Structure 1
Amino acid sequence: MLKKKTLLSLNHLLTINSLTQNSIQLLIDRANELSAIKTPHIASHPNSPIITNLFFEPSTRTQYSFEIAAQRLHVPSITPNIPSLSTLKGESLLDTIHNLEMMGSSLFIIRHSINHTPEFIASELLTDAKVLNAGDGTHQHPSQCLIDLMTIQSQFTQFEPLSVAILGDTHRSRVARSLTAGLQLMGTKDIRFITPPPLQIDHLEPPEGITPMDIKQGLQDVDVIICLRVQQERIDSSSTPIDQATYFKHYGLTTEKLTWAKPHAIVMHPGPINRGFEIESSVADGDQSVILQQAKNSIPMRMAILEALLN
């Protein structure tokens, strides 16, 4: 175990911007240490913390990795079946949260389709319970950002000199928004947004310091490529549907397009992957792909986050 003076303690984790470069590095270091420990745990007692997972949007990797992380830390957790919650009977979300607080929940892991919902809940808690944002609308996904930073650092010694391309639905992506802020906190300056025209939102400017580029220019000589899913569920229903074959031909990450990047470039994707839409199978499964490493890293990183919140 790390000495107490090096253990991080967090109040909430709502946005990646709430962290510093030092706290991010402490979490990465702790996650790397936890990945090598067979039976880490937080000591249990009658008043042990209870984690409540509230996922109001579908999730595989995030929800189950948090559940596995809690199990490995020997912290009890519950994952209510959202359709069975009393919110369907007219109870407000806050009343549900307050009742769960009184039952002993000390950490709420929340995914919601509406931006800033976790922040609102954190501001209305009745106890000293914590809130972890597991993805809110198009806003933020801080734990995924930390996983991605951990994965990048495992391949490169420094963040500052890296050229990073984020390819896909950047305008609607909480992953892109969080990772951009996280990379900037770690010192990366060359961050490129490659947003295919069918996915662009009029009058929406990229984050400060980000350069929008076309696909060939954007992938040229980059070290890291983060490929994003086309978020059909967030696209205005009145918009023209995106044709998968056309999108893949022009904007899908293929073996040919990958040659525009540096030979050592790594390929990442937060999942779920839509093969033949935003990425070619030969790229997703190729030697330069670290997509499954991201999934593997999700457990120790989320353990480190839970530990910091429950510390």
Structure 2
Amino acid sequence: MSGAARIQLTDDGRLRHLLTTEGLGRALTTEILDTAESFVPVTRNDVKKVPLLRGRTVVNLFFEASTRTRSAFELAAHRLSADVLNIEGRSSSTTKGETLLDTLKTLESMHVDMFVIRHGESGAAEFFARHAAPGVAILNGGDGRHAHPTQGLLDVFTIRRHKPDVAGLSVAIVGDVLHSRVARSDIHALQALGTQDIRVVGPKTLVPPELDALGVSVHHDLRSGLADADVVMLLRLQRERMSGHYLPAGSAFHRGFGLNEHTLGYAKPDALLMHPGPINRGVEIAAPVAYGKQSVILEQVSHGVAIRMAVMAMIIGAHQS
């Protein structure tokens, strides 16, 4: 188990931080999903607020650009009645030479209860968690290639709502696995729920060899990778993290590993189609299937708010006086 997996739990196995889906285990993962389920009605009410985090302060500290993740965390905190401060890396004092540790300690002195961290370096969220003051929680909003735990949780939450027997499913994760923190978080979350048939599918240059140690099967052919799959999870090609030798042109990638109406037919007729966004249409997915009848992509976005509400409430709402 990684260091991040160890330090995110209290001695009695509760969430202190959320840094990775690794090591959460079936019981805690299920508790998060069940708690999120209880918040789904709140997100649909006329008044979309509950008082669980009233008087608490959450800081979204994003050193990487984000629309879905940051918006979902902000909405989640507001719907729990927390005060929210949004800080982008390019507008913070790190551009003046302030270290990450200085930034953390400066904001802690303003009596912040929780930080949501998004950073381009793997391990950044763990660094914050190791240096955070007692009682200050760190949520990982994505760090380098390492982890994106709330995305992994919202993905399995979405799957469970459609196909409750998650353990018995065949799940294919397709595309740029090498650079994907989402893929790693999905794999750990699925395994926590007992899923045995997890496949990663992509060109050899985009599938890291160390995935063998995670107990997944590797496919370099789309037909075999999707054969009778219950769930097809597409990944965004992360061009910003790769150099030219990793990847052919987008059209060539689509011919080999892109999803369209024909290649989706390799999977089961009722297979769920997923994507963490943003979508590169015509590269990893064709426009007609992106929001077709098998797509649950917009549901993933919606469920992201409930998952983040659940995690925040479980960590700092439980200690509310």
**TM-score (normalised: structure 1):** 0.92
CA distance in 2, matches of 1:113, 1:155: 33
- Of 29, 32, 40, 2:34 maps to 29
Residue 9 of structure 2 corresponds to: none
Return 5+ residue gaps in structure 1 as ranges. 1-7
CA distance in 1, matches of 2:101, 2:282: 41
TM superposition outliers: structure 1 runs of 4+ over 4 Å: none
Question: Following TM superposition, by how much is the alpha carbon of 1:151 offset from its aligned partner in structure 2, in angstroms?
Answer: 0.2
Return 5+ residue gaps in structure 2 as ranges. 1-12
Letter matched to residue 41 of structure 1: V
- Of 122, 131, 151, 1:124 maps to 131
The question of whether the paired residues in 2 share the 8 Å contact of 1:116 and 1:139 is answered with yes
**Matched residue count:** 300
- Of 287, 291, 306, 2:312 maps to 306
Residue 278 of structure 1 corresponds to: 284
Residue 5 of structure 2 corresponds to: none
Q: How does 1:1-311 map to 2 (within 5 A)?
A: 10-37=15-42, 38=45, 39-43=48-52, 48-200=55-207, 204-213=210-219, 214-236=221-243, 239=245, 242-310=248-316, 311=318
CA distance in 2, matches of 1:44, 1:241: 45
3-state SS of 2:50 partner: coil
3-state SS of 1:160 partner: helix
**TM-score (normalised: structure 2):** 0.89
Letter matched to residue 18 of structure 2: L
Question: Following TM superposition, by how much is the alpha carbon of 1:157 offset from its aligned partner in structure 2, in angstroms?
Answer: 1.7
> Alignment identity in percent?
40
Question: Following TM superposition, by how much is the alpha carbon of 1:199 offset from its aligned partner in structure 2, in angstroms?
Answer: 2.6
Question: Following TM superposition, by how much is the alpha carbon of 1:172 offset from its aligned partner in structure 2, in angstroms?
Answer: 1.3
Residues 114-137 of structure 1: per-residue CA shift (max 9 Å, x gap): 111110111112342010011110
The question of whether the paired residues in 2 share the 8 Å contact of 1:34 and 1:40 is answered with no
The question of whether the paired residues in 2 share the 8 Å contact of 1:171 and 1:200 is answered with yes
Question: Following TM superposition, by how much is the alpha carbon of 1:241 offset from its aligned partner in structure 2, in angstroms?
Answer: 5.5
Distance change in 2, residues 1:262/1:14 (3 Å) = same
Distance change in 2, residues 1:158/1:170 (3 Å) = same
CA distance in 1, matches of 2:315, 2:252: 45
